[in-house]
Amino acid sequence: MKTLTVQLGKRSYPIYIGNHLLENAGLILQHAPTKQLLIVTNDTIAPLYLGTLLGTLAGARTETVILPDGEQYKNLETMNRIYNVLLEKRFDRHCTLIALGGGVIGDMTGFAAATYQRGVNFIQVPTTLLAQVDSSVGGKTGVNHPLGKNMIGAFYQPLSVIADTNTLNTLDDRELSAGIAEVIKYGLIRDSGFFSWLESNMDRLLNRDPDCLAYAIERSCRNKAEVVATDELEAGERALLNLGHTFGHAIEAGMGYGSWLHGEAVAAGMVMAAQLSTAHGWLDPATLDRIVALIAKAKLPVKGPAGMSMQQYLGLMSVDKKVKAGKINLVLLKHLGEAIVCDDYNPALLDAVLKQHCD
């Protein structure tokens, strides 16, 4: 088992990465100050891992909420199901919520923990690659609104993140690739050595080589933890983690939540960001080719979905959280491994890049 720490002063917390951690009661319960626990999971994960986790936590007073699986359920109505159980079962403010699932479960459980009785404890137990390398770390929680993704939420840190790599064995190939999109992102924005490693090891990753997966998760979490420690509330550097996300959120909203996976939309969005960076003369065309090739090798889309118009992209991008005073801020690449937040790009070049993805 590997242990990393997200350094946030009094709110610092450990990330554990290893095999069969779901069966480690001591590891999970050390961060649950009382033994009143609510496991929040979904109907895909519950048949696979809920029994194991309930067995591990047999000594505690544990309740369960099983939500429908999918980004389209990440909303306030679904949140209310969590609140209902907490209140019906009389959970007090010393209780602990456990998120067992992917990014959607983690974001909703975290937001429920942030807002139940003005804040209770929570533990992330991510079961997808995307959640293990990205969404479970750093305290971003929330739900979608029909007018924009993740528009309602809070920064709220977990007490620990427990990434059991064993759970990745049941992940379908499409979900695995979606997680790899965020792994590639760390290479692009701040770790070019990792990008090169990914070029050499993509086949092994796709074949779920355990050592290879564990290494990619650890190196991704280390990158994320460093960024979050520097800028918890996204006043600066943390925004770089959104490479491809403003484009990607537009794709997710435009196609209807749940149609494209988040990682797929981010993959196409990273291609758009890299193309726009190249159009400005920052990234050289050979590097752009390497980026597109690696994303394609990961079996991820390198082109936006059919049927979206440029106007639709621009409209949806302008409600993203990265907007300031009406200007869409974009994360672009100065070089491989170096990203910037930029609002002085050439809008005509943005239009041209989007048009390539709209035919």
Q: Does 343 bind its own copies (CB under 8 A)?
A: no
Q: Does 323 bind its own copies (CB under 8 A)?
A: yes
Residues 22-41 that bind its own copies (CB under 8 A): 34, 36
For its own copies, the closer CB: 65 or 302? 65
Q: Is residue 140 flagged as an active site residue?
A: yes
Residues 198-257 that bind its own copies (CB under 8 A): 233-234
Q: Which amino acid is at 67?
A: L
DSSP of 229-241, one letter per residue? Answer: HH-TT-SSGGGGG
- Total interface residues for its own copies by CB under 8 A: 39
Please report, in angstroms and rounded to a whole number, the separation of the first and last CA atoms in the chain. 48
Question: Rounded distance, CA 138 to CA 18, Å?
Answer: 19
Q: Tokens 């290879």 label which residue?
A: 212
Residues in contact with its own copies, shown as a per-residue x/- string from 135 to 164 under the rule CB under 8 A: -----xxx--x-xx-xxxxxx---------
DSSP bridge partners of 37: 62, 96
Q: Does 10 bind its own copies (CB under 8 A)?
A: no
- For the record, the structure tokens of 270 come out as 């990273």
Q: Does 90 bind its own copies (CB under 8 A)?
A: yes
Residues 93-122 that bind its own copies (CB under 8 A): 93-94, 114-119
> Rounded to whole angstroms, what are the CA distances from 87 to 50, 83, 163, 197?
22, 6, 29, 48
For its own copies, the closer CB: 286 or 325? 325
Q: Tokens 């990753």 label which residue?
A: 205
Question: Rounded distance, CA 145 to CA 165, Å?
Answer: 32
For its own copies, the closer CB: 132 or 150? 150
Catalytic member of 245, 252, 264, 357: 245
For its own copies, the closer CB: 76 or 293? 76
DSSP of 323-346, one letter per residue? Answer: EETTEE-EEEEEETTEEEEES-S-
For residue 292, give the nearest of 272, 308, 264, 313 by alpha carbon.
272
Q: Does 92 bind its own copies (CB under 8 A)?
A: yes
As measured in angstroms, the least distance from the Cβ of 139 to its own copies is: 9
In terms of residues, how long is the chain?
359
For its own copies, the closer CB: 118 or 359? 118
Of the listed pieces 85-93, 161-169, 286-294, 332-340, which binds its own copies according to CB under 8 A?
Answer: 85-93
Active site residues: 118, 140, 182, 224, 234, 238, 242, 245, 249, 262
